[in-house]
Amino acid sequence: MNYVELNNKVKMPNVGIGTFLLKPEDAENSVREALKMGYRLIDTANAYVNEKAVGRAIKSSGVNREDIFVSTKLWPSEYENENAIDETLERLGLDYIDLLFLHQPTGNYKKGYQQLEKAYKEGKIKSIGLSNFEGEYLEDIFNNFETVPQVMQVECHPYYPQEELRKVTEPKNIKIMCWYPLGHGDRSLMEEEIITALANKYGKTNAQIILKWHIQMGFVVIPGSKNISHIKDNFDLFDFNLNDEDMEKISELNKGIRYYNGTKEQLQGYAAWSPEYEK
């Protein structure tokens, strides 16, 4: 396991398991098995409706709580709920959260960030994150709050390596956590000629080459799966390194292509939607 150091000196694993789109029973099984394999970073969210399942997996894993790094996200409908963080802790069955994000830059996100700052100072959360905040939204946070976030979670992969965002985050040592690190499984990316050639060269899978590129770029990756063999493969990244020339070849794949583009209309919809939490 390798770690990155956040701008508040907290150490965070650079490879974790994501639980986006996993039903509670699948999330519980995947997280429990991942922890057995050596994973120590777990990512979930209010909106994934599987926080209770993640909490059950942590409890049953036998791994010490202090050795596990848990990240989750407040949904916009919770930004003005002053009990939202306590309720999130209750669903997870935890006394603290290692990293808590605001999930989307919509609704009353300033009130949401106030809640994060308060919880951070109280020790309920150990680090603050923003998910999908870029451009004007990110500047708004920088200009209006005392605490600089530690992590930015955004879409990031060789087709879209977040060059512009990194110009803002790197001077402040804000780490990038990547969702869709494998391009949402797009075969065009996964089967790029250079990726396949490097997989053959290093004796690894195409997915492992892409994930290793992320790690060597300084990113944190959270590929998700309910397939146990895929979960194992996604963690088998620490016995090789890509050389500088091969890293450059992968970086040349940058096409400025996103797989997801949230519109203002979609963001407004997010602000209105409220998750039906797992019972």
User: Which is catalytic among the residues 48, 79, 109, 159?
Assistant: 48
* Secondary structure of 57-95 in HEC code, one letter for each residue: HHHHHCCCHHHCEEEEEECHHHCCCCCHHHHHHHHHCCC
Q: Is the confidence at residue 264, as pLDDT, over 80?
A: no
Question: What are the structure tokens assigned to 154, written together?
Answer: 């955004």
Q: Is the confidence at residue 261, as pLDDT, over 90?
A: no
Interval 156-175 mean pLDDT: 97
Please count the other Cβ atoms lying within 10 Å of the Cβ belonging to residue 90.
13
Question: What are the structure tokens assigned to 64, written together?
Answer: 């010490």
Cα torsion angle, 190, 191, 194, 200, sign: positive
Q: Is the confidence at residue 204, as pLDDT, over 90?
A: yes
Alpha-carbon separation of residue 122 from 82, 85, 95, 118, 145 (angstroms): 14, 12, 12, 6, 16
Residues 6+ away with beta carbon under 8 Å from 244: none
Question: What are the structure tokens assigned to 125, written together?
Answer: 């959360």
How much of the chain, in percent, has pLDDT values that exceed 90?
Answer: 94
Measured in degrees and rounded to the nearest 5, phi and psi for residue 71 equal: -120, 140
**Type of residue at 56:** R
Q: Is the confidence at residue 272, as pLDDT, over 90?
A: no
269: region left, alpha or beta (phi > 0 left; psi from -120 to 50 alpha): alpha
* Domain definitions of the chain by residue range: 3-272
Q: Is 160 a catalytic residue?
A: no
**Residue 176's pLDDT band (boundaries 50, 70, 90)?**
very high
The CATH architecture one would assign to domain 3-272 is Alpha-Beta Barrel (3.20)
Helix, strand, coil % over all residues of the chain, rounded to 5: 45, 15, 40
**Residue 177's pLDDT band (boundaries 50, 70, 90)?**
very high
pLDDT tens profile 238-260: 999 999 999 999 999 999 999 98
pLDDT tens profile 100-130: 999 999 999 999 999 999 999 999 999 999 9
* Mean of per-residue pLDDT scores for the chain: 96
